Each structure stands twice: as structure tokens, then as C-alpha cells.
Structure 1
């Protein structure tokens, strides 16, 4: 199975609308590892890793977002897979 790792930044109305929890649920449904976190600038950062097509599916979902979010754009950068098999977590940055 070919693996992929992506770091994404999601812009728009994505904080205070359960975006992180919906992202976590979607990533778990897809069998991905990684994390999601609010950033101080109002964006949400997502790092996900797993099967190539499943990562692509989550990236496509990020452009739509949670029911109450309004995504204006998603910027993605591919990274080298770390073969990380941990759960997908909601992170809290100070």
C-alpha cells in the first residue's frame, strides 16, 4: 500500500464551529493518523498520514468542512511519510 503524508492549512470560518472534532471523526473513519489544531491566526492546521487515496479523500473533505464551517481555501504540502500509526488527535497549542 502506498502511503502519503500531507500538512494542510484551512482558512475561513473554521474555529468555534466544531471543525476539529469533525475532522478527527472523518480521519478516523478513513483510518488515518495525525492531528488537527487551531492556530493563533484563525486557521486550522491538519497533518494526516495513511493510504494515498484516503489522504486525498480527507483533503477533499477539508475543502467542504464541517456543517457550520465556511472554508475559503485549503493549502496543502506533501511531506515524507513517517509510517506513523498513532490515532488521529485534536491538539491544543498555547
Structure 2
């Protein structure tokens, strides 16, 4: 029996989410060298999306986004970072 056959549906979705978030982090990372404005926000986004992807991979084995507490804290920090990046980016765009 292969690894994929032993996974439940929620675990498969968590794997897919992890790949999605890390893919988004990769897009930000590859575009970073061509950016001159908002580099700080892009770097923060790369880190937050990548760590959020890693947290989904961890969630495959824990089967809960809130356990252990360190996983919950990691996810919360990523969400707060991404919301903060969005707010700062929006403010910078309005200021132009």
C-alpha cells in the first residue's frame, strides 16, 4: 500500500494547501529580484506563505490546525503577517 492510499481526504487537502502556499511564496520570491518598491513586503510575504505551507504539511500528521499549540501559534503569526502586509500595501497604494 502506498503512502497516498493511506491518507484521509483532509490530509490530502492539507498537502495540496501546503503546495499551494509554497508555490505562492515561490512566485513572490522569483519576482523579488525585479522589484524595487515594496521589497520589504514581498520578503515578509515569502516567509509567511512558505511557513504557512510548512504548517499545512505539519497538520497532515497532527490532523488539527490548533494542536499542538506551537502549530496554532505559527499559523496565527502567518495570518497576522499576511493581513499586516495587505494593509501596509493598501496604504502605500493610496498614498501614491
Q: Given the two structures, how large is their TM-score scaled by the length of structure 1?
A: 0.29
Instruction: Find the structure with the greater CA-based Rg.
Output: 2
Give 1 or 2: higher strand fraction.
1
* Higher relative contact order, chain-length normalized (CA < 8 Å, sep 6+): 1
Give 1 or 2: higher helix fraction.
2
